[in-house]
Structure 1
Amino acid sequence: MTPPPESSDEYSLQDPDPVSSPLSEHSFIEAAFNALPTQVAILDDTGEIVYTNDAWRRFGESNGIAEPAHTLGVDYLEVCEESDDQHAATAAAGINAVLGGTQSQFSFEYPCHSDDERRWFTMRAIQFEHDGAEYVLVLHLNITDRKRSELRVQEQNTELETLNQVNSIVRNVIDSLLAGVTKTDIETAICEQLATSSLFHSAYIVDRSLDDRGFSVRASAGFSEETERTLADLENADCSGTGLETAIDEGSTEAVNGLFEAGSIPGPVADVARHHGYESHLIVPICYRRTTYGALVVNAIDFHAFSDREQSAFDVLGDAIGYAYNAIENRQLLHADAVTELRFEVSEPDSLLATISDQTECTVVLDGVVPAGDGTLRCYVTITETPPETVLESIDGLDGITAHVVSERTDDFLLECTIRAGSPLVPLVEYGATVEAARAQDGTLELSAAVAAGSEVRSVVEAVLSNRPTARLRSKQRTERSIRSTREFRAALDDRLTDRQRDMLEAAYFAGYFERPRETTGGEIADSFDISPPTFHQHLQTGLNKLAGLALDQDQGE
């Protein structure tokens, strides 16, 4: 429906005499109507247009109306009633109600889009009398600016709702780590929460099939049994060059609109989209550091369901799931009674620690390694047979490593070094393995690591051997481990602590010394035991060192 309505040729009239207009004798009022930006027409009791203002006529001219632009003498009701447009039919019904006296006025909003502009209007019809005759004042007000603002607010509200839902799922994933859940528990909960939301229709999580050609569905929600069977065909589908492959291989989120027509999605995915009427989906890689655990696929009916802001929120969700998976694997590694133990040998120049040992004729033993973020590691190594200044001078000439001496001892010294690249330790940590021992001597690094049962051992091995010609996998074996109970842990700690060290640990803990802010000071605890503050701190630090060593499974002296 457009204001004024376009008439067909059978309603074409000769220009009527303007003197016949009811307002022709009221030039002041007519001038006021013509000054309005709102399109105004007056209908008589039969629905015929007897007056239009300048805004009405300008609109008709600019939109190519078939009638003379003023449309005087056109039967407005008849044109509306014969139109196939539902909005025109609504207008006719409302005007008839006003003319029939069942209501004094009528209004509604409707779209009136042109070829190059999206527009919205409000039509209002108001009944009035003049010289004993009934008339209807019809106004068409352009509300496009207001409507666009409302649509922007609606879009922002939808995005906010999406962000809130995704953030809620992220929180649930992180909270679930405290409940000791499994990967299957997390995957099932995520798919169910997304499928039951008001914004999305279904979700599933996929990973590479065993032959690396297709994909297997690990968890799903929101599908019928028929479409579940269709998705299972992904196992044998050719997924090369598709968004699924890109998301998993490159770790990038892929949004696809127009799933019916998209040529970059596997056949089973397209079949499911047609069956459910999906118009868009989002593929979110599930990653932690360099490990990709699969991808989350979220389906929606809306053609543009995933804005840039929503994609960013799902990126956070993918990272949170990946972090959760890694934490679960580490927990399994800590409590497993069997792990896969890998032993590697790497020669210089493919190992920075091996290079140091070769250039300075020293022995390098890894004490511990801590991820420092952005693909870097902070390593703590004990070096023997060479003075610190010789080692530091050698490191200055190596790319990707910085170091400083932590402490010098009688026969060796402790070195802290930050490794950014060029070490097989980096991929091991990034793929979730635990480095158990590393020793470099005469230009060769011997390295052992443990991988939790159920982890992708092949990916870990390939990551270490990749681009390192001298690297060799010397052995891979399943190793049984004894499980230490809480009681056994406490007994081992008692064996390491002296009575005074244990007293200081317990006193500091119960007195709130470790709280932030502290509820008591070291001096106050020392006074309560009638010892000096330095003595308290010495016992406390020694006790904490033994506790940390036991927790991290390191041998500590008494």
Structure 2
Amino acid sequence: MLTDALRETLDVFDDAGRGAPLTTSEVTDAVDVGRRSTYDRLDRLVERGFLETKEVGARGRVWWRPPTATVTTTSERSVEDRSEELLRAVFEHSNDAIFVLDPYADEILDVNDASCELLGYPREELLELGPSDCHPDELERFRAFVDGVFDGGAGWTDELTCLTEDGRRIPTEISASRVVLDGRDCLLAMVRDVSGRERRERERRESERKFWTLAENLEEIVWMSSADPSDFLYVNPAYEDVWGRDREELYAGDGLAFLDAVHPDDRERVREAYTDLPERGYEEEFRVQQPDGSVRWILGQAVPLRDEDGTVHRIVGIGEDVTERKERERELERQREHLDALNKLNRVGREITDAAIDQSTREEIERTVCEAFAESDFYEFAWMAEVDPVTKTIDKRVEAGVDGYIENVALSTDSGDATGRGPTGRAIRSQEVVPVRNVFEDPAFEPWRDVARQYGYRASAAVPVVYEGTMYGVVGVYTTRADAFSDDECRMLAQLGETVGHAIAATERRRALLSEEVVKLDFRIADAFDTFDVDASPGCRIAIDETIPLQDDDYLVYGHASAGDLDVVRALTDTVSSWESMAPLGDETDGDEPTRFKLRLSDPPVLGAVTSRGGRVEEAVFEDGDYRMSIHLPPGVDTRDVINTVQSAYPASEMVTRRRSQRPDVDASPSDVLCGADLTERQRSTLEAAFFGGFFEWPRESAGEDVADAMDVSPPTFHQHLRTAQRKVFESILSDAGGVD
């Protein structure tokens, strides 16, 4: 039976006249519903045989009602009003098989040529058959179909199997109406071979079966929906894995539950693209957030599948999990940014290093370092403080880029105090850079969070200023960068702290050399040869004349021993761990004159502690069985650390005296001359090694190659530094003496 909606649509064609073509738009305007609904009605009327249609142009289509004027349903005009010629015209021009049946008499009253072609019978033989001959397998279904037509009127449609002349069974679609022909109730049936449609349906089902089989085993994401993209029909296991949700959850609600899993930053963009799917498909790259919080990157593509008339009946999508690729891209980008940052930081480090080395006082170095940090693009401000090793207090000295910050923060070296467990206290205790990459999340930074909000920084680092084991202070640097203080940046800051420490140490040594006052520490080891387990004669005397610092905590020492006692020096070299090698200078004779020698020392604890604090070993001598050592330190140096170092290295030692004294008032002392010559440490070491090594004696006690070898440098390097040092010393002396115009 026809529904009211289909009847309403069919009336439009009756009003226009049978055979009159109408466009979809004309019918839509007449029935006053949407174009999609009108199209569906027209398509169903065509399927039931009430209308015919064809394409016009590239995308147009017209519809018309065939002129079946010689027959009528009970709801239409009687058959007497139709002419025999019109009925024959319909029979001759119809592509569908048309049967006129008396089903209750089991007679076929009339057929057209298409009917003969469909079943394979000549017309005469077909007219001798009855409907039961055509539907032997489905008689009950056929009779029920007939009853429905006669009881319900026009427009009944069903699918039945017909038996052909050669014994084939073909699926057909029958649309039938009740008609009156010569006063006799008959059935007018239009029969269409739908075997092609069934074949296409089988092929579609087989294609879908293959699709499902393939999709279930693919690593790629696969999904399918109806023409409405919110009506999910299928998602494969890979889809479930990437979304981290099962199919039922993804199908839930309005079908767009999968959008809830899209990362919030991408959700609206994906929603817009998904809504437009039926029109043009999409290709999008977006993130999915799984229930455990992990994020996956998806490259998704989707296309609408259309019927021959352009109607979308399915939407199929495929996606690729590109998380690894995105992570590689992000890692490469991070590396590029990291390298760029390191290059900029290296420039900052070089600027700070150059500026620190150029300054002549500790105060200038500290000011220069803090200002360089504050003026860079990477840091907001910086401060520097000194640590008192006796009182364990922090003396805040200088700040730059900020005003008053250093006075508003409490700092301590005590690990039992909350203010000592922050980056500054830990850096002082460990002598390593301590970064805080997020001051609002690091528990140890809690005492200073309000200050951080007030001054607007996000990260900080405490940089110890240490050189050769001596801490000269700590630098605090602050920044708003979210990615601040990576491992590489901390390594650079550590090197920078060491460089600044070296500059301060050099300044302190310069000050010590020029100072008129020194602190003298005298030590003694009684029965030293017994302590070192070395045999020596009662009159043995060994003295150290000069100590010259080299690179990497190595030292070159020159001394002399009483006649015949070089073997004692050799024995001491074998015993004392920091004495690496010994060699005599000149010829080793058996006379009464002392014999000079040179020693190579590696990382000697006492020398390292003294020289790093700007001091010097003024005297070191083995005599009368004892060992005496006199150390001169500049004022202000923490002597306790030096004393502890000596007694730790030589437990049998005792401090004899500790006093302040004035340097001898001597004009143009060697130290004054060398300081006035403005020598570098390497030039000074080279000049001293050559002098004390006997290079300037005649005949020479050591050739240039010997001194170079002792200093572990090449002969050309030795001669280059020596000539430069000589020129500077002579320039200093001669320029002070007046010179010649």
**TM-score normalised by structure 1 residue count:** 0.67
1:389 to 539, 545, 567: 567
Greater relative CO, 1 or 2 (CA 8 Å, sep 6+): 1
Distance change >3 Å, CA 375–CA 463, structure 1 → 2: farther
Is it true that 1:154 corresponds to 2:338 in the alignment? no
Aligned residues: 480
CA distance in 1, matches of 2:276, 2:605: 83
Is it true that 1:445 corresponds to 2:622 in the alignment? no
Please, which runs of 5 or more residues in structure 2 have no aligned partner? 1-199, 679-686, 697-713, 734-741
CA distance in 1, matches of 2:725, 2:244: 84
1:345 equivalent in structure 2? 522
CA contact (8 A) 2:266 2:287 kept: yes
Q: What does residue range 127-526 of structure 1 map to in structure 2 within 5 Å?
A: 129-130=306-307, 131-134=309-312, 138-176=317-355, 179-180=358-359, 182-192=361-371, 194=373, 202-208=381-387, 212-221=391-400, 223=402, 225=403, 227-231=405-409, 233-234=410-411, 238=417, 239-240=419-420, 242-256=422-436, 259-260=439-440, 262-264=442-444, 267=447, 269-275=448-454, 280-299=459-478, 305-333=484-512, 336=514, 338-348=515-525, 361-372=539-550, 375-384=553-562, 387-393=565-571, 395-401=573-579, 402-407=581-586, 408=588, 411-419=593-601, 424-442=606-624, 443-451=626-634, 456-458=637-639, 461-463=642-644, 466-467=647-648, 469-477=653-661, 479=663
CA contact (8 A) 1:343 1:474 kept: yes
SS in 1 for 2:411: helix
Q: Which amino acid aligns with 2:637?
A: E
Distance change >3 Å, CA 265–CA 437, structure 1 → 2: farther
CA distance in 2, matches of 1:36, 1:294: 63
Q: Which amino acid aligns with 1:348?
A: I
SS in 2 for 1:287: strand
CA distance in 2, matches of 1:217, 1:341: 26
Deviation string, structure 1 residues 198-247 (Cα, Å, up to 9, x no partner)? 66555443332587344234344555x4644423x337995545543343
Distance change >3 Å, CA 181–CA 126, structure 1 → 2: farther
Q: Which amino acid aligns with 1:92?
A: R
Distance change >3 Å, CA 240–CA 48, structure 1 → 2: closer
Please, which runs of 5 or more residues in structure 1 have no aligned partner? 1-18, 502-515, 519-536, 554-558
SS in 1 for 2:521: strand
Deviation string, structure 1 residues 441-479 (Cα, Å, up to 9, x no partner)? 33242524253x7x6354665456544551234422455
Distance change >3 Å, CA 308–CA 81, structure 1 → 2: closer
What displacement does 1:380 show?
0.8
Distance change >3 Å, CA 429–CA 79, structure 1 → 2: closer
CA contact (8 A) 1:243 1:283 kept: yes
CA distance in 2, matches of 1:316, 1:543: 31
CA distance in 2, matches of 1:381, 1:552: 29
- Whichever of the two has the greater Rg, that structure is 2
1:119 equivalent in structure 2? 296
CA contact (8 A) 1:438 1:445 kept: yes
CA distance in 2, matches of 1:445, 1:201: 53
CA distance in 1, matches of 2:471, 2:485: 22
Deviation string, structure 1 residues 410-429 (Cα, Å, up to 9, x no partner)? 72211212445787444212
> Percent of aligned pairs with the same residue?
18
CA distance in 2, matches of 1:137, 1:371: 78
Q: What does residue range 67-146 of structure 1 map to in structure 2 within 5 Å?
A: 67=249, 71=251, 74-76=254-256, 80=259, 85-96=264-275, 105=282, 107-115=284-292, 117-124=294-301, 129-130=306-307, 131-134=309-312, 138-146=317-325
Deviation string, structure 1 residues 352-395 (Cα, Å, up to 9, x no partner)? 99978986533444322123556553311123355433543455
CA contact (8 A) 2:356 2:365 kept: no
CA contact (8 A) 1:428 1:463 kept: no
RMSD, aligned CA: 5.1
